[in-house]
Amino acid sequence: MISKITSCGIVGIDGFKVEVETDISNGLPSFDIVGLGGTAVKESKERVRAAIKNSGFEFPIGRITVNLAPADLRKEGSSYDLPIALGILAATGQLPSREYNDCMFIGELSLNGDIKGINGALNVASCALGTGTKSLFLPSVNANEAAVIKGIDILPVKNIKEICNHIAGRKKITAHEIDVEALFQHSLEEYEDFSDVKGHANVKRALEIAASGGHNCLLIGSPGCGKTMLARRMPGILPDMVLEESIEVTKIHSVAGVLPEGVSLVTKRPFRSPHHTISDISLTGGGKIPKPGEISLAHFGVLFVDELPEFSKSALEVMRQPLEDGYVTISRVNATLTYPSNFLLLAAMNPCKCGYYLDPAKQCTCTQNDIEKYLGRLSGPLLDRIDIQIEVPPVNYKELQSTKSGEKSSDIRKRVNEARKIQLERYKNLNIYSNSQLKPSHIEMFCRPDSKGKKLLERAFTKLGLSARAHSRILKVARTIADMDKSEQICERHVAEAIQYRSLDRNRRAAGL
């Protein structure tokens, strides 16, 4: 007898429908799984055998063949345990005979028949909705995550018996629902607040501009001046996440297996801070079965790269293309996958090897050659992709002792949201969501400064020896500053401020680089 059970596989962050076909015939006892299954799929035979027996069902003695279709796509993971077990029970008549085309089953089995959680439940639910599935049976621990997708019945199950009782009509499983809107009603107290930061008014202004236009930013300052403290508060002033963004971020985190326990939807902007010893693969993603890396886990959030020059040259260079394209492609023998990586890069570095080149109170011990060598670790093409470069001076004693609280992140975020609304309205027909995404043709159309602004930019271009890409970055930042000023025209003052945010260009020029 042949049975057919519908399940789901995942490639990248997208799910695809898998039909688990089971045939049981007479012959020497055997249990074969075909259809390009990975190691975990092959090992499911023993888990399925034990789970069926320990759940009170009879495991057939005969020739068992399970086919995972389509057979040309590789299947990985232990989530096929449940559909394989149900396929055997249906083929032997222990599960009521019916069509299961409108149902999807997924889950890992323990030896006693319990169903364990899986990675990528949200991805599976999204695939189920897209394929016309009416009911999705999955582990109860994944119910909240999958219930974010509306339009299908999410049926949480704890063991095989529960599913059999539901199908037989003995005890129905209630569809699980979740209030998605309530998930977004978190307070700003969950973020670290800018009101804790003493002084640094100019740096806060630069970070507000970066958040308003989605611009990459580099903080340059001596050790202990507050670069990391400022960076960790950046997510609190980024625009509010919308449901579509949250779903896409949750898919990435779920597939990677880093979704926190009890979290069904990522509603906060991600903040990833990899150590400078990180490998290229950990940064971009990869492995035998390619998984998302840090730059994909920072999707729609912040990737904070502290001690930028300490990162290996190869690690820095692999970030260049994702910064430009907003996605990263991983090619391996088993698969070629593409993960989204539309993140805001926030980097920090010392101005020299000892760190005190710009410090007014401490003497720099570096020679001119040391400074040139240190700054030379950063390639021009990488720096060109960083729109804002700002010096972070040390906080003086008077500012530290001040009892006056700084501006709250909530107030800054209101202004950021207003600036983003202007950009969304301007680019509504161009599939552009922020000024940082503007292409050369768009810059020509939307980033035209007035006559005084053009003359100022020309002088700066010549004096600083800027590249064509740096020229475009200045215009994008000036466009954002004008939007924050609610000005459709880019004026001289907007261009002047944008030029001021090219600190490293000036330092490299002074160092002869």
**CA-to-CA distance for 437 and 429, rounded, in angstroms?**
14
Hey, what are 105's tokens? 């089953």
Residue 445, C-beta contacts closer than 8 angstroms, at least 6 positions apart? none
Give the Cα separation of 19 and 168 in Å (integer).
22
- Whether residue 100 has pLDDT greater than 70: yes
Distance from C-alpha of 423 to C-alpha of 429, rounded to nearest angstrom: 11
- Res 186: pLDDT: 63
Q: Report the alpha-carbon distance of residue 381 to residue 383 in Å, rounded.
A: 6
188-510 topology per CATH: Rossmann fold (3.40.50)
Give residue 465's region: left, alpha or beta (phi > 0; psi -120 to 50). left
Average pLDDT, the chain: 91
Query: What pLDDT is stored for residue 469 in this prediction?
Result: 84
- Who contacts 265 (Cβ-Cβ below 8 Å, separation ≥6)? 122, 145, 148, 180, 183, 246, 247, 250
Helix 468-484 crosses helix 201-213 at what angle (to 10 degrees)? 100
- According to DSSP, residue 159 is labeled B
Token pair of 146, please?
């999958």
| pLDDT tens readout for residues 368-401 | 899 888 888 888 888 888 999 999 998 888 888 8
Strands 153-157, 135-139: pairing is: parallel
CA dist., res. 26 & res. 60, Å (int): 10
Domain ranges of the chain: 2-178, 188-510
CA–CA separation, 124 vs 106, rounded Å? 9
Distance CA 464, CA 511 (A): 12
Q: What is the pLDDT of residue 511?
A: 47
Report pTM.
0.91
Distance, C-alpha 468 to centroid of its chain = 30
pLDDT digit string, tens, across residues 485-496: 999 999 999 999
Query: Is the predicted pLDDT of residue 437 greater than 50, yes or no?
Result: yes
pLDDT tens string 153-202: 999 999 999 999 999 899 999 999 999 888 887 644 578 899 989 889 99
How would you classify residue 224: left for phi > 0, otherwise alpha for psi between -120 and 50, otherwise beta?
A: left
Q: Tally the residues of the chain.
A: 513
| CB 74 within 8 Å of CB 38 | yes
Q: Any idea which residue has 């032997």 for tokens?
A: 92
pLDDT band at 442 (very low <50, low <70, confident <90, very high): very high
Q: Determine whether domain 2-178 maps to CATH 3.40.50.150.
A: no
Instruction: For residue 253, give the 3-state DSSP assignment.
Output: helix
Q: Do 115 and 142 contact (CB within 8 A), yes or no?
A: no
* CA-to-CA dists, residue 68 to 34, 38, 48, angstroms: 6, 11, 15
Say which residue, 360 or 204, is predicted with more confidence: 204
